[in-house]
Amino acid sequence: MRMLQYGLFRFGESALGLKVLRRMEDLRAMERWDAGRLARWQLRHLRRLLDHAWENVPYYRALWKSAGVHPGDLARKSLDEIAALPVVTKRMLVDAGDACLDRRHDKRCFVEDRSSGTTGRVFISRITRAQRSWNIAAMLRSWEWTGWRMGDCWMRLPFGASRGMKRRIQAALGGGAYSVIPRICSQVMDEVLVDIVRAEARLIRVLPAIAFALARQAMASSLHDAAALRRITIATTGDTMHEPYRTAAERVFAPPVYDYYGGDGIPGAAQCAAGRYHVPPTTHLELVGGARGDVPARIVLTSLTNTAMPMIRYDIGDTALPLPPDAGPCPCGCTWPMLARITGRVSDIMVTPAGCWLTPVHFTSLLRTLDGLNGFQVVQHAPDAARLLLATAPGFDRRAAETFLLPHLADYAGPGFRFFIECVDEIPLTDAGKHRYLITSPFGAAPPLAPPA
């Protein structure tokens, strides 16, 4: 079976114009490079990227001109020289529109990469097939660190509506399967657990909140094959794990849980068995804001190999902690740059009286279809009610939005829970400068874990 899946993967990557297996071989070799060799490889790709963005991407040329910076003066000796360039944000790139794309090509020839929406807004970046090969290879290589091997079955558990036949075929060609989660409740979690065992999945790729819900349901029910679940590894996507979520998941599934961090078409960092986060060579990650001790710093990412929609000094909106200077090499043997922990990217969960669980992804899956919307926030103000705040632009049709949203939200939340929609000028930031998209009260937070038996 493994050889059959491997053959299907080779056929699939050829049909899609990808070179994933070749890039995986490259990454395996690069894990053993010394720091000097790795820095030279990255510096060479950074120079090419900066020259390309200046010549072919109107947005960056205008931005850097206004800042009085020319890329020809940078990246001559060190990656650190890139700090002279201005930081860009998601809002800046959205506002720039097609000006942030490689003008030499029709954007329809690029691959769309959609974010999961756990940050409160789905962002569409565009990447080349070469970049997609690197991205998939980085993810699969991180899965190999868990013990998964090419040809093993894996499952993706996306939230929301069916992802369509194209996505299912792509997953199947890669040895994967889908089990779409329409809502987070006991009945659906039971069905998904059955699907996972039946598929003989070796690894599941899932949002932390859903991993937590699956683990809690498995502990609460005697219907499931505990030994089979114990052989399955969890690789997260979208968020990083609350420690209580991790504790629950590791009681049911194969420990440890592995975080995979990235976003907006950029692989960020993957967790190895030693618990450290390794940044792949195709990404240059900066910590901005004077991280020291246990003070998190802002993550600024540069994708060194994406020319379709360059992401150069991109503030992804998350924070991280560096390793202490005396941490030493990673026991896993990988020499890539490391982080101690990703912080500032953990979503809340709201539990309704009907026992349904809601996360930001529930709302982004609906709100992505509305025009004239600049942001949202959900605030639970009673055990059976919450306010949905919508930051709207002129021309937003509130009545049409309510007609569309309220029935769907009622279905997600279950009986006995009400939503009230309010239009506001802007959504306030937290004291740490972050958007918080779901604010729960003690009566709406996920109940604490039961102690181990």
pLDDT score of 444: 47
What is d(CA 143, CA 270) in angstroms, rounded to the nearest whole number? Answer: 9
What is d(CA 143, CA 121) in angstroms, rounded to the nearest whole number? Answer: 27
pLDDT score of 281: 97
Whether the predicted pLDDT of 297 surpasses 90:
no
**What's the first-to-final CA gap in the chain, in angstroms?**
37
Q: Which band of pLDDT confidence, cut at 50, 70 and 90, is reported for residue 451? A: very low
pLDDT score of 239: 74
Q: What is the pLDDT of residues 188-244, one digit of tens each?
A: 899 999 999 998 899 999 988 889 889 989 998 887 889 999 999 999 987 777 787
pLDDT score of 172: 56
Residue span(s) of the chain under CATH 3.40.50.12780 come to 2-342
Residue span(s) of the chain under CATH 3.30.300.30 come to 350-439
Asked which of 121-135, 137-151, 424-438 is least confident by mean pLDDT, the reply is 424-438
Q: Residue 264 gets which letter from DSSP?
A: T
Asked which of 5-14, 156-165, 309-318 is least confident by mean pLDDT, the reply is 156-165
Domain topology for 2-342:
Rossmann fold (3.40.50)
pLDDT score of 390: 92
pLDDT score of 432: 47
Asked which of 149-158, 242-251, 306-315, 341-350 is least confident by mean pLDDT, the reply is 341-350
Q: What is the pLDDT of residues 268-284, one digit of tens each?
A: 899 999 999 999 999 99
HSE-up of residue 295 (Cα within 13 Å, Cβ side): 6
Predicted TM-score of the model (pTM): 0.80
CATH of range 350-439; options 3.30.300.30, 3.20.20.70, 3.40.50.300, 3.40.50.280: 3.30.300.30
Whether the predicted pLDDT of 169 surpasses 60:
no
More confident residue, 160 or 267: 267
Whether the predicted pLDDT of 322 surpasses 80:
yes
Nearest to 207 by CA among 347, 376, 382: 347
